[in-house]
Each structure stands twice: as structure tokens, then as C-alpha cells.
Amino acid sequence: MHPAFAVTVDIVVFRVVDGALEVLLVQRGRAPYAGRWALPGGFKDTDETLDAAARRELAEETQVRSVAGLAQFKSYGDPGRDPRMDVVTVAYLAGAPPRTVPKSGDDAAAAAFFPVRDVLTGTLGLAFDHRQIVTDAVEQLRCTIEISNLATRFVRSPFTLAQLRRVYEAIWGVRLDVAKFRRKLLSAQRWLEPTGRVRARDAGGRNPAQLYRCGRRWREDGPIGLKAIRHVSTMD
């Protein structure tokens, strides 16, 4: 007979705010690691699918119910990763618009977005092996936006080209050539569709900018790849 083990789900939800990539975390309200920050997640119930468990845990602990591209990207089952028992977790990746506001619930003492950089550098220590999960999720996100329209889900539609460019820059950690980015996105392949509207001049005095929405072509592929812009300088 095989030894028993538990199955959990952990959800990595990213957003981009002011040009910075952020990740959604909860403060654990109970042992183990009480008071430490961690990814939202928990144990899978016997009568639910993994996807249902991910949606339920995210909603219960953060009150966030609307995310884009929620999908499994990796599993973790190293011995000792959870001090309670042998636990295998299935990690999920998702994107959220910049105005997403979490609110703690269930056994989470608090819920908030934090800069991904603080997690990757260890400035903000996480419970369990969640730093590694976030690290892997960032790499998966960088690949996913090359072959999908997930990047457009980090901005509120309709959006400007500048807003969309800042999403790519935040996720890839590079500075993109503005003119080349514009030409690629507005090519004959119709990655974007103009709305015929412009963003009003803001308080900073910036000129009105055209507003776009995701085009029909942008469903099974992506208009720009990281390899194509390697010559662009890395962000500090």
C-alpha cells in the first residue's frame, strides 16, 4: 500500500502597476508559518477538481474572483516542503488588471500585492517553497505572453500602446524600442483593433493617445517575442 499524501493548490496572481510586476500574497493566520506571507491556496477537497479548488481558494482567501488565464504550470512534491505531512501542490498562474483590490478571508490574516522583485531577491521571505514557485511562475509568464493575449489582460480595455508596452517591459525586465513596438503591434496582422477613441489629455499634460482592444488575430499566437528584442537594454 502506498503512503497517504495530501494535494494542495497554490495560485500565483500577477498584476502590473506603475510599470512594476507585483504578486498577490496572503499573510498566514495559523501554523505552520503563522504570520508569514505566502501564496493563496490550500487543500483540495475530495469532491472537487483541481481547477475548482484553485478558484475556490483564491476567492476564499483574497476575495479575488476575476483573473485571466488561470492555468496549471507546475507541480511540487519535494519531501519536507510542508512540515505537516507529505504534500504535493499544483501551482497555477493567472493575471489580474491593475485595479484589482484583494481582501483577506478564511484563514488569511491579510492579503495584498507585493513587488515581485522583493520576493525574488529574498527581501520578502515567504512560507514553504513559495519563493521558488514565484520564481518559476515569472519564467512561465515571460513565455506565455509570447504565445497568447495574456499581456492585454493586465490592462483595462480599451488601452493605449504605452500602457501595453509597460506590461511587456515589467514582465520581461527590459526597455522596448517604442517605434518598433508600435510597428509590430499595428502591422497588417491586426493584433490590435482601434476603437476610434482617444484617451483624454491627463493632468501630466500628455497628448491624447489612441485606444485599442485585443484583435481577433491575437488568440493563438503573440505579436512579439523576447528573442526579437534582446538588443534592448535591461531595466535596472
**Tally of domains within the chain:** 2
Question: What gap in Å lies between CA 11 and CA 23, rounded to an integer?
Answer: 10
Q: Within this chain, do residues 28 and 141 fall inside the same structural domain, yes or no?
A: yes
Question: What gap in Å lies between CA 134 and CA 126, rounded to an integer?
Answer: 10
Question: What gap in Å lies between CA 205 and CA 168, rounded to an integer?
Answer: 24
Domain membership flag for residue 1: no
Q: Within this chain, do residues 107 and 25 fall inside the same structural domain, yes or no?
A: yes
pTM across the whole model: 0.92
Q: Within this chain, do residues 77 and 155 fall inside the same structural domain, yes or no?
A: no
- pLDDT digits over 115-137, tens only? 999 999 999 999 999 999 999 99
Q: Within this chain, do residues 141 and 27 fall inside the same structural domain, yes or no?
A: yes
Q: Within this chain, do residues 178 and 140 fall inside the same structural domain, yes or no?
A: no
Q: Which of 88, 114, 147 is the last residue of a domain?
A: 147
**Residue 184 backbone zone (phi > 0: left; psi -120 to 50: alpha; other: beta):** alpha
Tell me which residue range forms the domain holding 194. Answer: 150-229
Give the pLDDT score at 145: 94
Q: Within this chain, do residues 75 and 33 fall inside the same structural domain, yes or no?
A: yes
- pLDDT digits over 154-194, tens only? 999 999 999 999 999 999 999 999 998 999 898 877 899 99
Q: Position of cell 527590459? A: 174
